[in-house]
């Protein structure tokens, strides 16, 4: 396996210690999400700490209690963080985050809608998610979704329970991403496709 294309933020383990009261969201954490995970277009409202659809992503993780969540594409990790925080409070599950770290400046608008190459450096990726206490719950694959699915068996990952799509936004790619092999609940970013 070509390890150079796969940057693991940490080896993802399914179990983690729950917060004392099983609920990690608090005003400081939400402020940190706004500052560092920089949501755009998720009906968020920073002035009153309203995460908008972020609450839905968190809630879906809490309601469905997935063992394996797949996130395809994220500018600064907003969806990844909200879903991973749900898993953290469930004390169960892991996230596979797939993003080739495209930059609209260097790769152009046909490769990414607004990407800013945030996922180039594995240590930086780990530090980014450590802010939210979820770095041990996720693995970043620096791949395009098409490559990820091609290599799925090789990567020896479990079936996917929940998929969030916010990557290429191109129809032919989105069709691949709406995969049926894993029987997963699949939903897309508000502005996707």
Ligand X SMILES: C[S@@+](CC[C@H](N)C(=O)[O-])C[C@H]1O[C@@H](n2cnc3c(N)ncnc32)[C@H](O)[C@@H]1O
Residues near ligand X, by CB under 6 A:
39-41, 72-76, 78-79, 98-102, 112-115, 144-145, 166-168, 173, 189
Q: Which residue's CB is nearer to ligand X, number 12 or number 51?
A: 51
Find the shortest distance in angstroms from Cβ 9 to ligand X: 15
- Structural contact between residues 72 and 167, judged by C-beta atoms closer than 8 angstroms: yes
Q: Which residue's CB is nearer to ligand X, number 7 or number 168?
A: 168
Find the shortest distance in angstroms from Cβ 166 to ligand X: 5
Find the shortest distance in angstroms from Cβ 112 to ligand X: 4
Q: Which residue's CB is nearer to ligand X, number 89 or number 177?
A: 177
Q: Smallest Cα–Cα separation from 152: which of 193, 79, 87, 98?
A: 98
Find the shortest distance in angstroms from Cβ 20 to ligand X: 30
Tell me the H-state helices in the chain.
27-32, 53-64, 78-90, 104-107, 122-130, 145-150, 152-155, 171-177
Find the shortest distance in angstroms from Cβ 111 to ligand X: 6
CA distance 158 to 8: 16
CA distance 81 to 69: 12
- Structural contact between residues 42 and 106, judged by C-beta atoms closer than 8 angstroms: no
* Dihedral Cα 53, 170, 76, 98, nearest 10 deg: 100
Q: Which residue's CB is nearer to ligand X, number 93 or number 115?
A: 115
Q: How far is CA 112 from CA 2, 121, 125, 189, in A?
A: 24, 18, 19, 14
Q: Which residue's CB is nearer to ligand X, number 93 or number 167?
A: 167
Q: Which residue's CB is nearer to ligand X, number 16 or number 163?
A: 163
Find the shortest distance in angstroms from Cβ 189 to ligand X: 5
């Amino acid at each position: 396996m070509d390890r150079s294309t796969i940057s693991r933020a940490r080896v993802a383990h399914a179990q983690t210690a729950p917060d004392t009261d099983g609920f990690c969201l608090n005003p400081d954490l939400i402020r940190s999400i706004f500052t560092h995970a920089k949501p755009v277009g998720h009906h968020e409202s920073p002035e009153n700490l309203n995460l908008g659809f972020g609450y839905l992503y968190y809630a879906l993780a809490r309601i469905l209690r997935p063992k394996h969540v797949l996130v395809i594409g994220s500018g600064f990790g907003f969806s990844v963080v909200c879903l991973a925080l749900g898993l953290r409070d469930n004390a169960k599950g892991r996230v596979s985050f797939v993003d080739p770290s495209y930059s609209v400046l260097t790769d152009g608008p046909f490769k990414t809608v607004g990407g800013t190459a945030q996922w180039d450096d594995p240590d930086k990726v780990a530090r980014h998610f450590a802010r939210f206490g979820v770095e041990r719950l996720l693995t970043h694959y620096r791949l395009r979704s098409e490559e990820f699915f091609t290599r799925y068996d090789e990567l020896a990952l479990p079936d996917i329970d929940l998929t969030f799509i916010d990557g290429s936004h191109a129809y032919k790619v989105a069709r691949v991403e709406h995969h049926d092999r894993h029987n997963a609940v699949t939903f897309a970013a508000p502005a996707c496709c």
